[in-house]
Amino acid sequence: RPRLFMPALSSLKRDLTDTLQSLASEIDRSVDVDQFRSVSAGIARHEESIESLCDSLAVFEETCSALTTPLSSVAERIGAKLDERAKLNEQRERLRLLQRLAQTLHHLESLLDRPPAPEGAGAAEALDDLLRAAREMGRLRILRERGAEQKLRAVRPGLERWERVRKTLLRQLTDSLHAALAAGDEARAARVVLGFADADASAEATHWLRSEWVAPRLVPQLKGAVARGTERDALPRICAEVLVFARGGAFRPLRAAALADPQRPLHLLADSVWAEACAFLKGTPHLFGSLAGTPAALHAAHTATVALQAKLEALLQTPAERHYFRCHPAGADLMRRFNLPIYFQLRVQEIAKQLEAALARSDAAAERHGRGRRRRRRRR
């Protein structure tokens, strides 16, 4: 049996030592020792810089903590000053608004306190001043609304003064409008009516026109139309008189093209002539009572009223005016008084009676024809 050869332990140690030395020398050859040393030195320097920066940051943190309390108090003082400035600006705007209110009211009073000018060139200048006062009144209304929104207490004592000035302005405008209408001056009447609109008094203008200009002239004509015939056919005559008045000279200046402004429609025809005519018919209910039970008269009256509405609407110049006229509450109330469901029932009854009579005549004729045929057969 062969023996295994085992090297000596000392030779193994020598071989391992030689191998380690060769590996160490190989590592030294593959690694740049100088570069490694320089990198190590750079890392050490950066560590020192980072330590010094941390020290600086600590000092800065201490400084900021020391400044936080004074800066917060300064910020609070700045905020308080800004709030105070905002309040001062608001008070300044209120004072400016009060100043403009006072100036506008004073200017308006100076325009209205001038003595009336005689006819001629002075009258034209007086009309210009009056229309300028109307525009100032419109501005004053806007300023008053702004003052009311801002709850200015100083505006309240001037309300009585404002109302007095407004009454004076409206009185002078109505006087000027009456003079223009009486003279048939279309251009002057249109300017005065637009002055009412500038003063935000269109409702007052239409009220004056209806009560002081239209009613005294139209109502006597309508009463005369009622008196000229029977009550049953009075409504068509009334409609004819209303149309004549609307087209006539008394109302022609109020249909001027200058008044057809789509931005601010005035609705003079609807709120004066049409409203007064409807009020007259509403005040004479016996006219509609006389139409009860007479479908033909009711049909003629309704047809005349619808035709009047169409012809009056044709006199209007803007879509807004026509729409307002169609939807006017006075016209809607007038049309309800015709009680068309009852008229329909009366017409149905009338047609049914005629149909029944026609059927009865047809049956009688058929029966007579049958008797004649039977007689002829018997003779044969």
pLDDT tens digits along 94-125: 666 556 656 666 666 666 666 555 555 556 77
Mean pLDDT of 247-251: 88
Q: Which of 33-47, 87-101, 143-157 has the lowest mean pLDDT?
A: 143-157
Give 144-166 pLDDT, tens digit per residue.
Answer: 666 655 555 555 555 677 777 88
In contact, 231 and 286? CB cutoff 8 Å = yes
Mean pLDDT of 131-155: 68
Q: Which of 89-98, 315-324, 348-357 has the lowest mean pLDDT?
A: 89-98
CA distances (Å), origin 241, targets 237, 286, 307: 6, 19, 13
Q: How confident is the model at residue 276 (pLDDT cuts 50, 70, 90)?
A: very high
User: What is the token pair recorded at 67?
Assistant: 């400044």
User: What is the token pair recorded at 182?
Assistant: 């009486």
DSSP designation for 151: T
CA distances (Å), origin 49, targets 36, 45, 46, 55, 58: 20, 6, 5, 10, 14
Q: What is the pLDDT of residue 218?
A: 92
Give 287-325 pLDDT, tens digit per residue.
Answer: 666 666 666 777 777 888 889 999 999 988 888 889 999
Report percent pLDDT > 70 for the chain: 73
Grouping H, G, I as helix, E, B as strand and the rest as coil, residue 380 is: coil
Pairwise CA distance, residues 319 & 263, whole Å: 11
Amino acid at 377: R
In contact, 253 and 189? CB cutoff 8 Å = yes
> Between 67 and 175, where is the model more confident?
175
Average pLDDT, the chain: 78
Place of tokens 């033909």: 296
> Between 248 and 74, where is the model more confident?
248
Grouping H, G, I as helix, E, B as strand and the rest as coil, residue 309 is: helix
CB atoms within 10 A of CB 341: 8
Is residue 137 scored above 70 in pLDDT? yes
Is residue 167 scored above 60 in pLDDT? yes
Grouping H, G, I as helix, E, B as strand and the rest as coil, residue 85 is: helix
Q: What is the pLDDT of residue 1?
A: 53
Q: Which of 22-26, 156-160, 187-191, 354-358 has the lowest mean pLDDT?
A: 156-160
Is residue 373 scored above 80 in pLDDT? no
User: What is the token pair recorded at 69?
Assistant: 């309390």
Is residue 380 scored above 80 in pLDDT? no
| Identity of the highest mean pLDDT range in 70-74, 83-87, 325-329 | 325-329
Q: How confident is the model at residue 275 (pLDDT cuts 50, 70, 90)?
A: very high
Q: What is the pLDDT of residue 151?
A: 56
Pairwise CA distance, residues 167 & 149, whole Å: 24
Amino acid at 289: G
DSSP code string of 190-241: HHHHHHHHHTT-HHHHHHHIIIIIIHHHHHHHHHHHHHTS-STTHHHHHHHH
State the pTM of this model.
Answer: 0.61
> Between 33 and 218, where is the model more confident?
218
Pairwise CA distance, residues 150 & 140, whole Å: 15
Place of tokens 């009560």: 211
Beta-carbon-side half-sphere exposure of residue 98 (alpha carbons within 13 Å): 15
Pairwise CA distance, residues 309 & 332, whole Å: 11
